[in-house]
Amino acid sequence: MTVETLTSYDQALTRYEPVLGMETHVELGTASKMFCGCPTTFGAPPNTQVCPVCLGLPGSLPVANAMAIESTIRIGLALNCSIASWCRFARKNYFYPDMPKNYQISQYDEPLCSDGYLDVEVGGETIRIEIERVHLEEDTGKSTHMGGAGRIQGADYSLVDYNRAGIPLVEIVTKPITGTGALVPEVARAYATELREVMRSLGVSDVRMEEGSMRCDVNLSLMPRGSSTWGTRTETKNVNSLRSVERAVRSEVERQAGVLDAGGRIVQETRHFHEETGTTTPGRSKEEAQDYRYFPEPDLLPIAPDPAWIEELRATLPELPSTRRRRLQAEWSLSDLDMAAMHNIGAIPLVEQTVAAGAPAADARKWWMGELARRANESGVALSDLAITPGQVARVGALVAEGALNDKLARQVIEGVLAGEGDPDAVVAARGLKIVSDEGALSAIVDQVIAENADAAEKVRNGKVAAAGALVGAVMKASRGQADAGRARALILEKLGAS
């Protein structure tokens, strides 16, 4: 029996070297499924997007989706892969409760793309992640386990939705990642983050991890320091957030080290990650390739992409995220630290779009990295999920630049936009938030404040100009933050003979 204890992460790294591997599944954003014409709309009523082909009914024949093949080649090119001149689909045989035909059409020893790499930035260092293969297959359906904890163990019964069965799925498999020391969890997260950005830039998938259109399987083993023999690996399946990828790696390092330190052995198995505890639990024993009984898919022709077509696709690749970051960093005159901070919270495309809407780069960065990042953190959502657009942020900045708002009022406008009260101008009008620019109204407020704060006013008359700060504060309070602080100060000094 395997003994399981926990060893702290830092202690584990003194005795073991982690070996990491990532298998990432990306659902392609095609209009129809991989081998039939059924739609791929997310969230449709269960079992309404199915046909004889994706249900595996007798006599039905698959036809490969040309757009899915094109998208896979574009992914391979973006990941610096070699594109196969000839390859085939294969049948992967396994008990699939959520796959009607009980096998998956995939690729085995002949992937469409192979031998690539993706560079990621971690701790100020560039780390090259080597890609073993990028292959195309079909997704499975979705099982929902009712009762218990929502997993098959302890469930009362299970429901199956076949809508997802047959959706084009690209699997991107890394080669073993070693030599990254204590940064292994951060490397895993950085890789998943960069890969997601590449997919978005290519426009091949929406990569919404919360909806399952990008899912990471984290493979991890521990090798004793000084040894050249790799340990037994586990595969933590379907990790569906960037934060969870990092936590799953850290958890498995600690768990496996504890098992080995206690004299136990690591079981080769799949494992499930639990968000609430940050730990993994066993799934099933992990099969080897021969267990799937792969053989060539007899109902599909081989794929033999024309080299000229591949070069045409290469020419259509957009500016990739890493190249774009370097360009924007130079254009915005940012330090490596500032750019890394923006990258880590997903602010770069939002700032870029805000600049495109007319905002200066410094202003756009200030709002997204300051007030909006704070609100996203408080709400526990991604920055991009906030209910405000880059155009609206640019308008808030423009109102500040025009003198219609100060920063305090601008934050109230942002609050209103996020609350669904309309665009910035509508919120300003509805809440009455414009700066008091009428000279007569501001002068009256200043007179009232001077009268109510005689001691401070006398200090200003006697040459202690610093005391004017308290009077300016009182003006701002009396005007509910809507006075022009600079003009209020000038009026105070003028009225008290200190100008």
Q: What separation, in Å, do the N-terminal and C-terminal C-alpha atoms of the chain show?
A: 85
Q: Which of 221-230, 316-325, 439-448 has the lowest mean pLDDT?
A: 439-448
Tell me if residue 155 falls in helix, strand or coil: coil
| DSSP character at residue 45 | P
Asked if the model's pLDDT at residue 440 lies above 90, the reply is no
**What band does 1 get if pLDDT is binned at 50, 70 and 90?**
very low
Over residues 460-477, the pLDDT tens digits come to 676 777 766 777 677 677
pLDDT given for residue 491 in this prediction? 65
How many whole angstroms separate alpha carbon 20 and alpha carbon 57? 40
Q: Which of 18-22, 120-124, 215-219, 259-263 has the lowest mean pLDDT?
A: 120-124
pLDDT given for residue 369 in this prediction? 96
pLDDT given for residue 497 in this prediction? 65
Place of tokens 């005007």: 479
Strand 269-274 versus strand 234-239 pairing type:
parallel
Q: Which structural domains are found in the chain, ordered by start?
A: 9-310 (no CATH), 319-431 (no CATH), 439-495 (1.10.10)
Across 327-342, average pLDDT: 92
pLDDT given for residue 356 in this prediction? 96
Tell me which amino acid residue 225 is: R
Across 252-279, average pLDDT: 92
Asked if the model's pLDDT at residue 75 lies above 60, the reply is yes
How many whole angstroms separate alpha carbon 46 and alpha carbon 164? 9
**What band does 77 get if pLDDT is binned at 50, 70 and 90?**
very high
DSSP track, 344-370: HTT-HHHHHHHHHTT--HHHHHHHHHT
Over residues 165-181, the pLDDT tens digits come to 999 999 999 999 998 88
DSSP track, 230-297: ----EEEEEE-SHHHHHHHHHHHHHHHHHHHHTT-----EEEEEETTTTEEEEEEEPPPGGGG--EE-
- Please tell me the number of Cα atoms within 13 Å of 116 on its side-chain side: 26
Tell me if residue 125 falls in helix, strand or coil: strand
Q: Torsion angle of alpha carbons 369, 373, 374, 380, nearest 10°? A: -160
Q: Which residues pair with 285 in a beta bridge?
A: 269
Asked if the model's pLDDT at residue 375 lies above 60, the reply is yes
Comparison of pLDDT for 111 and 408, the residue scoring more: 111
Asked if the model's pLDDT at residue 69 lies above 80, the reply is yes
How many whole angstroms separate alpha carbon 165 and alpha carbon 56? 10
Tell me if residue 303 falls in helix, strand or coil: strand
Over residues 297-306, the pLDDT tens digits come to 999 999 999 9
Across 72-90, average pLDDT: 97
Over residues 8-17, the pLDDT tens digits come to 899 999 999 9
pLDDT given for residue 448 in this prediction? 74
| DSSP character at residue 182 | G
Place of tokens 């809440």: 431
Across 67-83, average pLDDT: 98
In SS3 terms, 197-208 reads as HHHHHHCCCCCC
pLDDT given for residue 285 in this prediction? 72
CA distances for 182 relative to 5, 124, 161, 164, 190, angstroms: 20, 14, 41, 38, 14
pLDDT given for residue 462 in this prediction? 67
Query: What is the pTM assigned to this prediction?
Result: 0.80
Give the tokens for residue 84.
Answer: 């196969």
Tell me if residue 411 falls in helix, strand or coil: helix
Over residues 120-177, the pLDDT tens digits come to 988 878 999 999 999 999 999 988 888 876 667 778 888 999 999 999 999 999 999 9
**Average pLDDT of the residues of the chain:** 88
Closest CA to 142 of 211, 231, 196, 51: 211
In SS3 terms, 164-181 reads as CCCCEEEEEEECCECCCH
pLDDT given for residue 480 in this prediction? 63
Q: How many CB atoms lie within 10 A of CB 226?
A: 7
**What band does 220 get if pLDDT is binned at 50, 70 and 90?**
very high
**What band does 492 get if pLDDT is binned at 50, 70 and 90?**
low
Across 374-401, average pLDDT: 92
CB–CB of 164/139 below 8 Å?
A: yes
